[in-house]
Each structure stands twice: as structure tokens, then as C-alpha cells.
């Protein structure tokens, strides 16, 4: 099947393209991309094998890459399978996802890696890359067979949410990884400082009577691992950075030439620890923020102040808000956004962590940490665009070009001759989150009932449509628009 995608706003950060045009897909590849300001516009192809997709009002971009996904299979198929998780990824606009080794058995041997690759070849809807375990059994006591894992096709090493407490072991891991030329991806937490934690340590945790996870516990391990990576000449990737101090440490390390990269999740960019308070938060959420931040936190008039990321829709102590690292403060969010803007943080990754109901419906401090975030990631990050805190081109770069660079690969692109992995989304589409309708088996997401703006309409992998919202794009193709950018969304100098 050939596809002609028409009238879309094409944004391809790798090519520095932000324009309005048409994209022709043929034999699984991007065949042609035409800027509609070009007088020699693409002629409309004819034939029964051509479908014309009208993308007016939508953005056409390279498919997103997620560096941090927990797919659970094998071993915990009641939480997620490769089939359900990769379809959820397609719903979110992701065409490549990197699977963490949080499976049973753990992906710490070539045999398990091969098994997961076989399942993915059979069941996956998008491209799946495997991250091998850094230590045997993810127990943090002995290194896994890293050379064997690399030869089996692993793209990086990580123990997922389990930090390496043994400094000497971490140093050895970075040395081996440097020889192999692969990154070590680490979640930073000094567990001697977080024993029994429930949420971010601060004013809110004191008010709610919950044990806190101090920012120092994250920042101490970030500083240690940066020092070890610098000594080993290794590539260190910090997963789910969540604190202002962490951003500062990464920025300073990059300035002196350390090969360190970092990711941040959509929820750490947009939700604060006040979400744990739920409906104990004053109804007008701007009343509890500092005056200079009120503009950033208040709603768009067309959405209404009470429906724009409103924590009062949740009860207090709702376990869907428990995530590791925890939701942090307004000041941390400010620093994370600035880190994205100035390049300190390389990528946005969901940290998708689906859980069964039994894992969440319990006492807050005992609830399994994690958010099922693939299907809400785009809309959540677009809140930053709609508030004017990020431009759309940079946001897409952090979902495409940035992750590719972390993995040492050529960025995904819409350049002719490349694989047709792409997403079409409407940045202005209003919708209400219903976690009961998630494709993912994990319904653990604090955004249930929230009204968001921005939705994926179609996802394509290697020229095959793997997700389509209802009958999107199948109406009558209209004439070309004259505008060269999405007003208020693309930066004026694009």
C-alpha cells in the first residue's frame, strides 16, 4: 500500500524542517516530501494501491522513541505483554521503544534476550530494542555477562529501578561498558536515605504524614556515577532525573566534557508533589503557587481553570500518584524544563511502568511505584507547548533526535529513502483521559478524568499503519493551506 499524507505541518528536527507539505510513502519508505510553498508540488498519484490521508490541522513527525519502558513479558503478563505494551506505544505515537530488564526471568543472559526478541518479532506492533541487565538477577552483587548481552543485541545496560549501591561494582560496570561502546543507564537513589519512603520529602509530605524521599538521595548517586563515568571514559545515562540539583550536576559534567546524557518523564515535567494531596489542594491551584509561576500553572481559557491538570479530581493519598523517583516540587519542575530547553536533558522518556490493580490498591507507602504513561505522554508534554514553556520543534526533538543520539544512532527522520516510521498528531485535539479505555493492561495513571489537549491520530511503522484513531484522514482531501506554520505552536523563526 502507498500513502499520500496531505496538508500536514511537517516537523522533522533532524533535517531542521518545519513547514507545511505532503509526504508520499511507498514500499515501507518515505519516497518524497514536498513543501507546499514549492511551485512544483507533488502530483497526486493514482492507482488502487494509493490511499490519500488528509492531515490538515495536524503535525507529521518522525515516530517517537522511548528510552525507558517496562513491558513485563516474560513473567508478569498480567501487568503487560509485548503485544499490549507495543500497541499502547503506537497509540502514544512511539515507533521504537527500549525494554527495561524488569522481566521474569530477567534479561541477564543471551538466551533470555533471544526469547524476548522472538516474542517481539511475533507480537510487537512497533520496534522493540532490548536493554540488558547490568548485574546478575538485577541484584547488584555481580556483573552480568555484558559481552554476551552485547553480542545478543542489547543496546545498553541497566538494572532498571534498582540502583547499584556498591561503588566498586558500578566502577567496573562502567569500565566494561566503555570497552563495548554502550551506555550504562541508571536510576539514582541512595536507599540508605530513602528507607520506607512514600513521596517527595518536603512541606507536603510533612502535612500528609508520609515518609519522604529527599532530593539528596538522588543527587548523591548522580554525583557519584558522574565521577565514576568520568574516570572510566564511559557513557552514563541518567534515567528519570527529577531534581533541580540533579540537572545542575549533569549540566556541569557536560560542560567539562563528561559523556553523560539524561532523560526526564512527562509526569516529572508537569505534576508536582501536591498531586498526592488530591482534593485537599485548594480548588484554584494558582493560589498555592508563587506569584511569578501563576501564569504557567493556570489553564487555557477555552479549557476552563477547573479542568486543566487539576489535582483536586483525585482523592488524597491516591496511589496512582506514587512513582519513583517521586513527583517533586515546582522549583524542580522549573529546573527540568530549563534543562530540556538548554540541552542539559537529552530526551523525554515515559518510564512506562504498568501495574495490576492489586499492586496499587493498598496503603499509599506500600503501593508499587510507577505510572502507565505511554498513552498520555504526548498530551502531557504538549501542556508545556500550549503554556509557551517549550516550542513544538524542540519538544519533538526530545522525543526523536534526542533519544537516537543517546543510543549513538542516526536520528529518526522523514528524509526520502528512510523507513516510514512516523506519527501524525493533532496538537489541539481536546479529550478526557479514561484509564479504563487504555490499551495497556496497566491503568495506573493519575490523569484519569483530566481534560488534555493534543492526541495522536495515526502511527506508522515501516510504512504500515499500526494505529489509527477512528477514520482519521479518510475524508475528502481539501485544497492546500496557505499558512506556513501552526499559529502559536511553531516558533516564529522556524
To the question of whether residue 430 is assigned a binding role by annotation, the answer is: no
97 CB neighbour count, 10 Å cutoff: 31
What Å distances lie between residue 61 and 4, 206, 311, 328, CA to CA?
A: 14, 44, 31, 31
Quick check: helix, strand or coil at residue 238?
Answer: strand
Instruction: Supply the DSSP string of 415-478, one letter for each residue.
Output: -TTSB--EEEEEEEEEEE--GGG-SSS----TTTT-EEEEEEEEEEETTEEEEE-TTTT-SPPP
Q: Measured over all CA atoms, what is the biggest interatomic distance in the chain, rounded to whole angstroms?
A: 67
To the question of whether residue 183 is assigned a binding role by annotation, the answer is: no
To the question of whether residue 369 is assigned a binding role by annotation, the answer is: yes
To the question of whether residue 316 is assigned a binding role by annotation, the answer is: no
How far apart are the C-alpha atoms of 441 and 77, rounded to whole Å? Answer: 9
Say which residues have a Cβ less than 8 Å from residue 257's Cβ, sequence separation at least 6.
none
To the question of whether residue 104 is assigned a binding role by annotation, the answer is: no
The H-or-E segment that residue 382 falls in is helix 377-386
Helices (H), 203-243: 203-208, 215-232
To the question of whether residue 71 is assigned a binding role by annotation, the answer is: yes
- C-alpha cell read off for 106: 530477567
Left, alpha or beta for 275 (phi > 0: left; psi -120 to 50: alpha)? Answer: alpha
To the question of whether residue 448 is assigned a binding role by annotation, the answer is: no
How far apart are the C-alpha atoms of 125 and 331, rounded to whole Å? Answer: 38
Annotated binding site: 68, 70-72, 355, 369-370
Annotated binding site for Zn(2+): 68, 70
Annotated binding site for substrate: 70-72, 355, 369-370
Amino acid at each position: 500500500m502507498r500513502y499520500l499524507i496531505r496538508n500536514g505541518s511537517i516537523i522533522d528536527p533532524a533535517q531542521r524542517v518545519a513547514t507545511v507539505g505532503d509526504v508520499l510513502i511507498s514500499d515501507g519508505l518515505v519516497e518524497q516530501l514536498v513543501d507546499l510553498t514549492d511551485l512544483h508540488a507533488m502530483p497526486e498519484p493514482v492507482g488502487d494501491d494509493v490511499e490519500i490521508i488528509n492531515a490538515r490541522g495536524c503535525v507529521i513527525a518522525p515516530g517517537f522513541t522511548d528510552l525507558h519502558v517496562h513491558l513485563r513479558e516474560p513473567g508478569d503478563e498480567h501487568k503487560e505483554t509485548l503485544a499490549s505494551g507495543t500497541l499502547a506505544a503506537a497509540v502514544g505515537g512511539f515507533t521504537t521503544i527500549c525494554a527495561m530488564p524488569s522481566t521474569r526471568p530477567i534479561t541477564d543472559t543471551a538466551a533470555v534476550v533471544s526469547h524476548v526478541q522472538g516474542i517481539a518479532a511475533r507480537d510487537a506492533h512497533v520496534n522493540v530494542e532490548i536493554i540488558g541487565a547490568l548485574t546478575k538477577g538485577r541484584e547488584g552483587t555481580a556483573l552480568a555477562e555484558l559481552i554476551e548481552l552485547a553480542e545478543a543485541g542489547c543496546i545498553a545496560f541497566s538494572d532498571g529501578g534498582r540502583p547499584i549501591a556498591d561503588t566498586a561494582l558500578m566502577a567496573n560496570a562502567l569500565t566494561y561498558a566503555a570497552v563495548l561502546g554502550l551506555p550504562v543507564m541508571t536510576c539514582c537513589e541512595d536507599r540508605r536515605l530513602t528507607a520506607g519512603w512514600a513521596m517527595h520529602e518536603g512541606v507536603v509530605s510533612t502535612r500528609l504524614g508520609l515518609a519522604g524521599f529527599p532530593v539528596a538521595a538522588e543527587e548523591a548517586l548522580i554525583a557519584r556515577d558522574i565521577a565514576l563515568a568520568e574516570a572510566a571514559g564511559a557513557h552514563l545515562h541518567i534515567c528519570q532525573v527529577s531534581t533541580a540539583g540533579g540537572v545542575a550536576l549533569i549540566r556541569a559534567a557536560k560542560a567539562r566534557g563528561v559523556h553523560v546524557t539524561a532523560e526526564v518523564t512527562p509526569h516529572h515535567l508537569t505534576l508536582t508533589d501536591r498531586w498526592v494531596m488530591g482534593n485537599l489542594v485548594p480548588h484554584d491551584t494558582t493560589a498555592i503557587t508563587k506569584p511569578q509561576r501563576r501564569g504557567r500553572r493556570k489553564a487555557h481559557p477555552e479549557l476552563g481553570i477547573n479542568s486543566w491538570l487539576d489535582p483536586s479530581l483525585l482523592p488524597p493519598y491516591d496511589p496512582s500518584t506514587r512513582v519513583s523517583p517521586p513527583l517533586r516540587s515546582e522549583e524542580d519542575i522549573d529546573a527540568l524544563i530549563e534543562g530540556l530547553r538548554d540541552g542539559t536533558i537529552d530526551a523525554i522518556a515515559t518510564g512506562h511502568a504498568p501495574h495490576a490493580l492489586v499492586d496499587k490498591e493498598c496503603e499509599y507507602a506500600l503501593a508499587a511505584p510507577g505510572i502507565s504513561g505511554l498513552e498520555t505522554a504526548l498530551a502531557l508534554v504538549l501542556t508545556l507547548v500550549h503554556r509557551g514553556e517549550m516550542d513544538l520543534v524542540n519538544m519533538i526533538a526530545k522525543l526523536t533526535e534526542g533519544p537516537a543520539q543517546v543510543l549513538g544512532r542516526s536520528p529518526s527522520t522523514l528524509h526520502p529513502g528512510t523507513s516510514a516510521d512516523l506519527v501524525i498528531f493533532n496538537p489541539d485535539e481536546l479529550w478526557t483521559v479514561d484509564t479504563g479505555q487504555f490499551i495497556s493492561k496497566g491503568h495506573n495513571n493519575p490523569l484519569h478524568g483530566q481534560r488534555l489537549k493534543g492526541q495522536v491520530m495515526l502511527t506508522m511503522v515501516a510504512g504500515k499503519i499500526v494505529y489509527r484513531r477512528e477514520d482519521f484522514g479518510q475524508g475528502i482531501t481539501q485544497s492546500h493551506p496557505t499558512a506556513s506554520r501552526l499559529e502559536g505552536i511553531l516558533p516564529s523563526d522556524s
